[in-house]
Amino acid sequence: MEPINIRFGGYQPPTSVHNKAADVFGNALTTRLGDAVAFSLDGNIITSGHQAADLLRLVEGGALTLCYFSASYLAERVPAFALLDLPFLLNHRPMAYTVLDGPLGQHLTEQLAAHTGFRLLGWWDNGFRHLSNRVRPIQHPEDCQGLRLRTLMSDLHQEVFRLLGFEPVALDVKDLLAGVQAGTIDAQENPLTNIYNFGIHQHHRYITLSSHFFGAAVLLCHQASYEAWPSDVQHAVTTAAAEATQAQRQFAAAEDDDVMARLDPGQNEIVQLTEAARTEFTQLLAPLVSEQRVRFGDHLFRHLQVGADTARSSSE
């Protein structure tokens, strides 16, 4: 019998926390199924001329079997994914994981399966997103004024940064570094791992540890392929995905500490927001958060808040 081909795609360097977790997935899968599957990983499709966003099309169409990707991009297909992009709400990892692994994460998983060709197999940690720029330290909202900031292709993200005074410019990951190097964008926002591993810190002196968003990532599978597999393959894929998810979250937390240790204080100025400054940012964005609560309704927003409160109380 011919093996089942399982092709995994990504958009990052081999040492990234996502690609290391993809390796965990592949190893766990082949350990369970042996020659019954043929697993392959293309960890960076950008090197073959693709844009990172092509992963979604390739997986939904079945050309690839799995990929990891930022959850923010799925709000166009399932609007409630935008709840995960509300600024300054998820402040630490246990809080974020409680929300993703709880009723809200389950609701989003079910909605994605109902309205797209994806099956969501795991919620990954895309890191807390921080600001970097080449012009000045960002310590208060007024420091954002007039800076051209690269954003994800997310309407909500762009609205957040517009309210803060930035001039948002949506760019695919493929074009991010070129924009940073050329100075066509002044600022960008990303997890520390991307700021360092993409080499952005070499061009942006100022890094503000704003943690304005928690970046949820998703492990996506071509739904039709999953449904066509025998039950033992489905079980092996689901179990391997759970192992990879646990490993990925551990990699992500450790990576933040490693990057902070590697950054050279002589090259980069690190800004820690004071509580007073953080309040300035949150108050400025409070009307937008209220609008989103009205948009999605208290029943969904309550899952976000209850999950946050549960994680907060368990850590006290």
Q: How does pLDDT run across 18-28, given as a tens digit for each residue?
A: 999 999 999 99
Instruction: Assign residue 62 a region (left: φ > 0; alpha: ψ between -120 and 50; beta: otherwise).
Output: left
- Give me the phi and psi of 211, to 5 degrees please: 50, 45
The per-residue pLDDT for 306 is 60
In this prediction, residues 274-298 reach a mean pLDDT of 92
In this prediction, residues 217-231 reach a mean pLDDT of 98
Q: Is 60 exceeded by the pLDDT of residue 217? A: yes
Q: Could you read off the pLDDT of 90-117 as tens digits, one per residue?
A: 888 998 999 999 999 999 999 999 999 9
DSSP states along 27-67: HHHHHHHGGGEEEEEESBGGGGT--TTHHHHHHHHTSSSEE
Say how many CA atoms lie within 13 Å of 189 toward its Cβ: 31
Q: Is 50 exceeded by the pLDDT of residue 265? A: yes
The per-residue pLDDT for 91 is 80
Q: Which residue has the higher pLDDT, 153 or 69?
A: 69
Burial 298-312 (b: 16+ CB within 10 A, else e): eebbebbeebbeebe
Q: Is 80 exceeded by the pLDDT of residue 302? A: yes
The model's pTM: 0.87
Q: Which CATH class is domain 4-314?
A: alpha beta
Contact 80, 108 (CB under 8 A): yes
CA distances from 2 to 37, 64, 148, 157, 180 (A): 8, 18, 52, 45, 46
236-245, 263-272, 287-296, 297-306: range with lowest mean pLDDT = 297-306
The per-residue pLDDT for 316 is 47
Model confidence band, residue 258 (pLDDT cutoffs 50, 70, 90) = very high
Q: Is 50 exceeded by the pLDDT of residue 52? A: yes
Q: Strand 118-133 vs strand 187-190: parallel, antiparallel, or unpaired?
A: antiparallel
The per-residue pLDDT for 310 is 53
Q: Give the Cα separation of 238 and 235 in Å (integer).
A: 5
Q: Is 60 exceeded by the pLDDT of residue 213? A: yes
Model confidence band, residue 311 (pLDDT cutoffs 50, 70, 90) = very low
CA distances from 10 to 18, 53, 64, 218, 252 (A): 8, 10, 10, 12, 16
In this prediction, residues 218-224 reach a mean pLDDT of 98
The per-residue pLDDT for 298 is 86
CA distances from 232 to 33, 227, 240 (A): 9, 12, 12
Amino acid at 30: T
The per-residue pLDDT for 309 is 56
Q: Is 50 exceeded by the pLDDT of residue 277? A: yes
The per-residue pLDDT for 89 is 87
Domain boundaries, the chain: 4-314
30-34, 169-173, 236-240: range with lowest mean pLDDT = 169-173
What radius of gyration do the chain's Cα atoms show? 19
